[in-house]
Copies of this chain bind each other. A is one copy, B any other.
């Protein structure tokens, strides 16, 4: 089945979405009515890569990962989303297809809107459009940074970097240190770093020996962020 959240919670969460935060209560209400809520269980596929793309989505609860499949059979984990982030398709052009597969990583609640309707929102509310643009250019910068890291840094450094980034986004204090609030396997890490599961595993073991992290099946906690940062510059 999956997670369920009430209409009230939806409205509240929608108000927290960066590009809707600036809207007045009544405007938010109007926008909210244009969305349709969908609940997903962990592991559910929200949409598949190459499928015709005509919906934009906003994650309200849970976590979603974006994966690109390659002809070689390798997967790339492009992004991991937390509540408040948008995904899916922005474009209104007919022949647009999803460039990645979206999978719910844990039970999630997702708001869906036809991108034609979303366009209407953007066209009538410039401030929203500009904010969406900001977020998108930010993501563009991140994506380019990622390319840079892939091509210049050794796998160990890439993984250190990934852990730090995840820690900033998903970390929450626990007895083990900053526990990442998201299921995270060795394969996930490998797909993010563009390496093999084995290599990811080896490096994670090394990090654990050095006391940088504590980790188990599908979970990771960062103990010593400075240690990881140090790895990156050496």
Contact = CB atoms under 8 A, between A and B. Distances in A.
A198 to B, nearest CB: 16
A30 to B, nearest CB: 17
Given A123-B126, A129-B122, A233-B71, A150 B194 contact: yes
Contacts of A138: 91
Nearest to A76: B148
A133 B78 contact: no
Given A91-B134, A123-B127, 12 more contacts: A68-B148, A70-B148, A72-B153, A90-B137, A99-B144, A122-B129, A123-B126, A126-B129, A129-B133, A150-B150, A150-B194, A152-B194
Contacts of A151: 74, 76, 150, 194
A156 interface: no
Query: 9 shortest A-B CB distances, which residue pairs?
Result: A151-B194, A143-B143, A129-B129, A126-B126, A70-B152, A133-B133, A140-B140, A90-B137, A74-B152
Contacts of A146: 147
29 contacts: A68-B144, A68-B145, A68-B148, A70-B152, A74-B152, A76-B147, A76-B148, A76-B151, A78-B144, A78-B148, A90-B137, A91-B134, A91-B138, A99-B145, A123-B126, A123-B127, A124-B126, A125-B126, A126-B126, A126-B129, A133-B133, A140-B143, A143-B143, A143-B144, A146-B147, A147-B147, A150-B151, A151-B194, A152-B194
Contact of A152 (B76, B129, B152): B76
A21 interface: no
Interface in A116-141: 119, 122-127, 129-130, 132-134, 136-141
A70 B127 CA distance: 35
Interface in A57-86: 68, 70-72, 74, 76, 78
Given A71-B233, A123-B127, A127-B123, A136 B147 contact: no
